[in-house]
Amino acid sequence: MNRLLGTACVLPPALAFAAAFAMSTSLPAQDSETPRPKVAASPPGRPDSSLVSGGLYKADPDHTLVEWSVDHLGFSPYFGLFGDVTGTLHLEPQRPEQARVAVTIPVSSVTVVSPGLKQHLLKPPRTEGGKPDFFGPAPEDARFVSTMVRTTGEDQAEMTGNLTLNGITNPVTLDVRFHGAGTMPKAMGGGEVIGFEATGTFKRSDFGMDFSIPLVSDRVDLRIAAAFIKDTGDNPSGEN
């Protein structure tokens, strides 16, 4: 107590008063009729591939993110995000090389911290009949459809697929790592969930976006967090 009082004496008067008030004021008692929320002892998902069951999964648009990053003027990396991803995953744990992914990414909802940059990304062509610097004002959704999966290690694989962006389709390869699986609590919707991380690169000039190269890098780095929820409906085709 002497130490606390000594500290208060060297504080400015306003801060000293606030400190003394805080020490002399008791916290309000918690309403005994309001139950505390129960906290799970551990997360429902674990990096245990034995928890994965086969079948059709659908992308969780609220927890699937595509991060893109470019080098800006050689000074720093700059990144943005795509969300609201939809699509499907067909997976059989005993035959991972037969996994199939088809996802759609809404380019128009690109997220960056700079309003000016977002306006530029979605800016119309500078001249009538010309092409926009980047995506343009009404960009088509991007789409990735896998064509081959090759296991490269325990819980790791290389996935090659066709990426359609800006109306142009080119192959892109992703390094994929299993992150976790389990059953979502019923209070959060329930269902079996599986998640992955993936990384990859491509050249934006291959998709018709060569504006400001090399000041802004041609190379685009991808980092993807993908969550899929087991489909229990009657959609055997898995088409989205």
The string of pLDDT tens digits covering residues 97-112 is 999 999 999 999 999 9
Instruction: Specify the pLDDT at position 187.
Output: 86
Among residues 141, 145, 170, 173, the alpha carbon closest in space to that of 157 is found at 173
Look at residue 41 in the predicted model and tell me its pLDDT. 77
What is the number of domains present in the chain?
Answer: 2
- Helix or strand (DSSP H, E) at 55: strand 55-59
Instruction: State the residue range of the domain holding 11.
Output: 1-25
What is the per-residue pLDDT across 42-65, written as a single tens digit (0 to 9) for each? 899 999 999 999 999 999 999 999
Quick check: 89 pLDDT over 60?
Answer: yes
Q: Is residue 162 part of a domain?
A: yes
Same domain for 15 and 80, yes or no, is no
Q: What does the pLDDT read at residue 238?
A: 41
Domain assignment present for 42: no
**What 3-state class would DSSP assign to 179?**
strand
Q: Is residue 95 part of a domain?
A: yes
Are 78 and 184 within one domain? yes
Shared-domain flag, residues 79 and 16? no
232 falls in which pLDDT band (50, 70, 90)? confident
Q: Which residue has the higher pLDDT, 235 or 225?
A: 225
- H or E segment at 7? helix 2-9
At residue 50, the pLDDT reads 92
Cα gap 130→223, rounded to integer Å: 31
Asked if 37 contacts 189 with a C-beta cutoff of 8 angstroms, the reply is no
| Shared-domain flag, residues 87 and 171 | yes
CB 44, CB 205: distance < 8 Å: no
How far out from the chain centre does Cα 133 lie? 25
Q: pLDDT for 12-28, tens place per residue?
A: 444 444 444 444 444 45
Q: Which whole number is the average pLDDT over 154-169?
A: 97
Q: What pLDDT shows up at residue 15?
A: 40
Return the closest-CA partner of residue 225 out of 184, 180, 158. 180
Task: Say what the pTM is.
Answer: 0.80
CA 190, CA 231: separation in Å to the nearest integer? 11
Mean pLDDT of all residues belonging to the chain: 87
CA distance 17 to 146: 65
Residue 143: closest CA among 82, 208, 187, 191: 82
Tell me the CA distances in angstroms from 231 to 16, 101, 190, one per residue in order: 60, 14, 11
Answer whether residue 138 shows pLDDT above 50. yes
The number of beta carbons lying within 10 Å of the beta carbon of residue 204 is 20
